[in-house]
Amino acid sequence: MKPSTESRKLPPLPPGDIRIITLGGVEEIGKNMTAIEINNDILVIDMGLAFPTEETPGVDYIIPDVSYLEQNRSRIRGVIITHGHLDHTGGVPYIMSRIGNPPLYTRNLTALFIKKRLDEFPHLPPVDIRIVEKTDRIKIGNVPVRFFGVTHTIPDSMGVIIETAYGLIVTPGDFKLDLDKVDGVPTPEEETTYSIFDREKVLLLMSDSTNIENPGFSPPEREVHKNLEAIIKNVKGRLFIGTFASQLERMIKIIGFAEKYDRKIVIEGRSMKTNVEVAELAGLLQVKKGTIIPVTEIGNYPEDKLLILATGAQGEEFAALMRIANKTHKQLRFKKGDTVLLSSSIIPGNEITVQKLKDNIARQEAKIIHYRTSEVYIHASGHGNRGEIEWLHKKIKPKFFIPIHGWHHKLRVHAEMAMELGLPEKNIVVPDNGMVIEITDKGRKIGARKETVSSRLVLVDGLGTNDVKEVVIRDRVMLAQDGMFVIIGIVNVKTGRVVKSPDIISRGFVYLKESQDLLHQVRVLAKRKIEEATNRMHPINFDYVKNLLREEVGRYLFQKTHQRPIVLPVLIEV
């Protein structure tokens, strides 16, 4: 990775000042990562990945650009991971060794998830993972750091408190509030947790903006559990439940309900199997022997006594639910009498694939219960709505505020909410990826520097060892639009004449079998243009001829088809 020129120009941080660099997660959902510098110590919070979109085809993951950390690796004292989801942990295998493998601090379950993931990268140096408890106070470098437990969809989620000379820096990580019902009143446990902020001065809050646009409070997960229990108890026939493997708390509950109502469980999908194993390893789940059965034994039990937990509720092409639905799964098919419960929201961008999944299930006459159309809550987000976010601000009463986690517009809405609660505009910074924010004047001022650090899209593909360059992605997007057109001419270097008719290779452009006339015209055109160009040329400037050919052929193809394939001329000298 090329160090950006911007980051080189960053002056050293004056003693007493605090620098916050938002490396990822503030212009998107995903790849969350923030660096905090205090005196000579750099702390990193979270190291996530994001999933590709239509604009980054053929890519596996997108990770934050850590050029700045690479250049300053000697000052990195530790990495804190708030919880075990990939948008907070997924960058670990790709980033840790680049930044000098500093110690990684996290809670037990998160540590187990990270270790499980790192097993897939045996060539990497081991990561020094140090388990912390939610009430711990530790020192990372010279910086005192504390933690607090937060409610999310995975156990062992935690917030981070960094103690500074001017007050606390607080981030809850991903959080929602634990409510008994949808009334906006948190449980006494939540009140107790957050009561630590009643007594302490908070210098800076950085918090999640994912659901800031949703009014009110998010439906409580315990409401979802209650409804799932009723379904698991009452549904006749086989029950399939599709959910995110990352919804670990819900999976633990579902497995418990299955045991209670005497259903055997089949788990389909690697990530789900892994996550259940990790939950057992962490002691968060005790499954009785014989509860989880292999799919091959499914025929030994009455259908009312079966629950199939499966990945793929987003309609992912190769996940279990889709393979069952499109009849490519080895052992399972949907049929009349089955119920398929999709206990997950639709990630933006997946609407059409989810629709296709539902269509394929419906064709096999299984009944579908989907959270969007269910009359009761069968899914709840792990991120608090506006009501919860507002509650947090009122509890924490920060002096300064940086909205994080979300698209730019969400951060703006979050910042406006903070202003409505009384924070002056000058105390708020809406960050971009790569922005360098500093708290100066002995904690009296906050502001963004004009210099930024490098924040390119870093794309991980295939073996994951190489970055995919943006130019490659641009080509893919262009290839997907109108395909490509290679034209190969063999040119006699002495005479400049084209030997034989040029060859054409094309894909994704037009249907070649029905375009013979077009191809013939292009061959004639190409031969003529090459020979016109080489006619008075001694020696032949092949680059010039190639560029000319690219232009002429491209123009001709557009005129005839209104399409613009990537035209690639090849001249072979004989």
* Interacting residues toward its own copies by CB under 8 A: 27, 53-54, 57-58, 213-215, 348-349, 351-352, 355, 358-359, 361-363, 368, 372-373, 375, 407-409, 412-413, 461-463, 466-469, 471-473, 475-484, 486, 488, 490, 503, 505, 507-511, 514, 561-563, 566, 568, 570, 572, 574
Cβ 488 to its own copies shortest distance, Å: 6
Cβ 492 to its own copies shortest distance, Å: 11
Closest to its own copies by CB, 148 vs 244, is: 244
Give the Cα separation of 265 and 308 in Å (integer): 6
Q: What strand order describes the sheet that includes 137-140?
A: 137-140, 143-149, 158-164, 167-171, 202-208, 400-404
Residue position matching structure tokens 């009849």: 327
Cβ 540 to its own copies shortest distance, Å: 17
Cβ 288 to its own copies shortest distance, Å: 36
Give the Cα separation of 404 and 475 in Å (integer): 32
Strands 18-24 and 435-440: antiparallel
Closest to its own copies by CB, 122 vs 215, is: 215
CA triplet 71, 72, 76: central angle to 5 degrees?
140
Closest to its own copies by CB, 279 vs 342, is: 342
Give the Cα separation of 291 and 277 in Å (integer): 14
Closest to its own copies by CB, 300 vs 466, is: 466
Cβ 495 to its own copies shortest distance, Å: 16
Cβ 395 to its own copies shortest distance, Å: 24
CA-nearest of 38, 358, 62 to 167 is: 38
Cβ 78 to its own copies shortest distance, Å: 32
Q: Please, are residues 50 and 91 in contact by the beta-carbon 8 Å criterion?
A: no
Helix axis angle for 408-420 and 386-396, nearest 10°, is 50
Closest to its own copies by CB, 280 vs 461, is: 461
Closest to its own copies by CB, 59 vs 267, is: 59
Question: Three-state SS for 277?
Answer: helix
Cβ 188 to its own copies shortest distance, Å: 32
Give the Cα separation of 121 and 343 in Å (integer): 32
Strands 339-342 and 367-370: parallel
* DSSP string covering 126-147: PP-EEE--TT-EEEETTEEEEE
Give the Cα separation of 392 and 175 in Å (integer): 10
Closest to its own copies by CB, 318 vs 535, is: 318
Closest to its own copies by CB, 421 vs 480, is: 480
Cβ 215 to its own copies shortest distance, Å: 7
Cβ 36 to its own copies shortest distance, Å: 25
Give the Cα separation of 573 and 570 in Å (integer): 10
Closest to its own copies by CB, 108 vs 427, is: 427
Give the Cα separation of 485 and 508 in Å (integer): 9
Q: What is the DSSP letter of 539?
A: S
* DSSP string covering 426-493: GGB----TTEEEEEETTTTEEEEEEEE-----EEE-TTSSSEEPHHHHHHHHHHHHH-EEEEEEEE-T
Closest to its own copies by CB, 298 vs 413, is: 413
